[in-house]
Homo-oligomer: A and B are copies of this chain.
Amino acid sequence: MSANDDLLTFLRETLGSTGVLTDDLERYRVDWAGARGGLPLAVARPATSEQVAQVLGYCHRHDIPVVPQGGGSGLVEGALPDSQTPELVISLERLNKIRSIDPINFTVSVDAGCVLQTIKDAAEAEDCTFPLALGAQGSCQIGGNIATNAGGLNVLRYGMMRQLVLGIEVALPDGRLLDDMKALHKNNTGYDLKQLFIGAEGTLGIVTGAVLKLYPRPQVTRTALIGCPDVASVLKLYAQARRSCCDLLTAFELIPRACMELALEADPSLPDPLDAPHPVYVLMEVAASGPADLDSMIEALFERGLEDGLLEDGVLATSDTQAAQLWQLREAMLEGQQRRGEHLRTDVSLPISQLTAFHDQAEAAITEASPDSQVIAYGHVGDGNLHFNILPPAHLDDDDKRSLLHELEEQLFAIVAEFDGSISAEHGIGRVKQPYFLESLSAPEHDIMRGLKRLLDPRGLMSPGRILPRMQR
A-to-B contact residues, CB < 8 Å: 102-107, 127, 148-149, 151, 155, 159-160, 162-163, 172, 176-180, 182-193, 195-196, 198-200, 204, 215-217, 219, 235-236, 238-239, 242-248, 288-293, 296-297, 300, 349-354, 380, 382-385, 420-429, 433, 437, 440-445, 448-449, 451-452, 455-456, 467-468
Asked if B350 and A184 sit within 8 Å, CB to CB, the answer is yes
Of the residues B172, B426, B441, B442, contact of A186 by C-beta under 8 Å: B426
Considering only CB atoms, which chain B residue lies closest to A203 in the complex?
B191
User: What distance in Å separates the Cβ of A254 from its nearest Cβ neighbour in chain B?
Assistant: 14
User: What distance in Å separates the Cβ of A105 from its nearest Cβ neighbour in chain B?
Assistant: 4
Q: Which residues of B contact A441 (CB under 8 A)?
A: 190
Complex Cα distance, B107 from A354, in Å, reads 12
Complex Cα distance, B191 from A350, in Å, reads 19
Complex Cα distance, B235 from A421, in Å, reads 43
Complex Cα distance, B244 from A217, in Å, reads 11
Asked if A455 and B445 sit within 8 Å, CB to CB, the answer is no
Q: Which residues of B contact A445 (CB under 8 A)?
A: 178, 180, 190, 193
Q: Which residues of B contact A248 (CB under 8 A)?
A: 246
Asked if B185 and A467 sit within 8 Å, CB to CB, the answer is no
30 A-B interface contacts by CB (under 8 A): A102-B351, A105-B352, A105-B354, A107-B351, A149-B192, A155-B185, A183-B420, A184-B421, A184-B425, A185-B349, A185-B385, A186-B349, A186-B422, A187-B424, A189-B428, A189-B433, A191-B199, A191-B204, A191-B449, A192-B198, A195-B195, A219-B243, A242-B289, A243-B289, A244-B289, A246-B290, A290-B300, A291-B293, A448-B455, A448-B456
Kindly name the residue among A160, A290, A441 whose own CB sees the greatest number of chain B CB atoms within 10 A.
A290
Q: Which residues of B contact A104 (CB under 8 A)?
A: 235-236, 238-239, 352-353
Q: Which residues of B contact A382 (CB under 8 A)?
A: 185
Asked if A178 and B296 sit within 8 Å, CB to CB, the answer is no
Q: Which residues of B contact A172 (CB under 8 A)?
A: 444
Q: Which residues of B contact A107 (CB under 8 A)?
A: 351
Asked if A448 and B178 sit within 8 Å, CB to CB, the answer is yes
Considering only CB atoms, which chain B residue lies closest to A217 in the complex?
B243
Considering only CB atoms, which chain B residue lies closest to A236 in the complex?
B104
Number of copies: 2
Complex Cα distance, B193 from A441, in Å, reads 12
Of the residues B148, B189, B193, contact of A422 by C-beta under 8 Å: B189
Asked if A384 and B105 sit within 8 Å, CB to CB, the answer is yes
Asked if A183 and B448 sit within 8 Å, CB to CB, the answer is no
Considering only CB atoms, which chain B residue lies closest to A467 in the complex?
B190
Asked if A442 and B179 sit within 8 Å, CB to CB, the answer is yes
Question: Which 6 pairs between the two chains have the least Cβ-Cβ distance?
Answer: A195-B195, A104-B353, A187-B422, A186-B425, A244-B290, A246-B288
Complex Cα distance, B52 from A120, in Å, reads 47
Asked if A442 and B215 sit within 8 Å, CB to CB, the answer is no
User: What distance in Å separates the Cβ of A232 from its nearest Cβ neighbour in chain B?
Assistant: 10
Given contacts A195-B195, A246-B292, 18 further A-B contacts (CB under 8 A): A104-B239, A184-B422, A185-B383, A185-B384, A186-B349, A186-B383, A187-B422, A191-B199, A191-B448, A193-B445, A195-B196, A215-B242, A216-B243, A216-B246, A216-B247, A243-B290, A246-B246, A448-B456
User: What distance in Å separates the Cβ of A295 from its nearest Cβ neighbour in chain B?
Assistant: 11
Of the residues B184, B236, B288, B428, contact of A188 by C-beta under 8 Å: B428
Q: Which residues of B contact A448 (CB under 8 A)?
A: 178, 191, 193, 196, 455-456
Of the residues B149, B236, B420, B452, contact of A455 by C-beta under 8 Å: B452
Q: Which residues of B contact A127 (CB under 8 A)?
A: 243
Known: A193-B448, A425-B188, A448-B455. A289 touches B246 (CB 8 A): yes
Q: Which residues of B contact A238 (CB under 8 A)?
A: 104
Of the residues B106, B215, B449, contact of A193 by C-beta under 8 Å: B449
User: What distance in Å separates the Cβ of A416 from its nearest Cβ neighbour in chain B?
Assistant: 11
Complex Cα distance, B191 from A424, in Å, reads 12
Complex Cα distance, B445 from A435, in Å, reads 33
Known: A180-B445, A186-B383. A452 touches B191 (CB 8 A): yes
Q: Which residues of B contact A444 (CB under 8 A)?
A: 172, 176-178
Complex Cα distance, B125 from A442, in Å, reads 35
Complex Cα distance, B427 from A291, in Å, reads 36
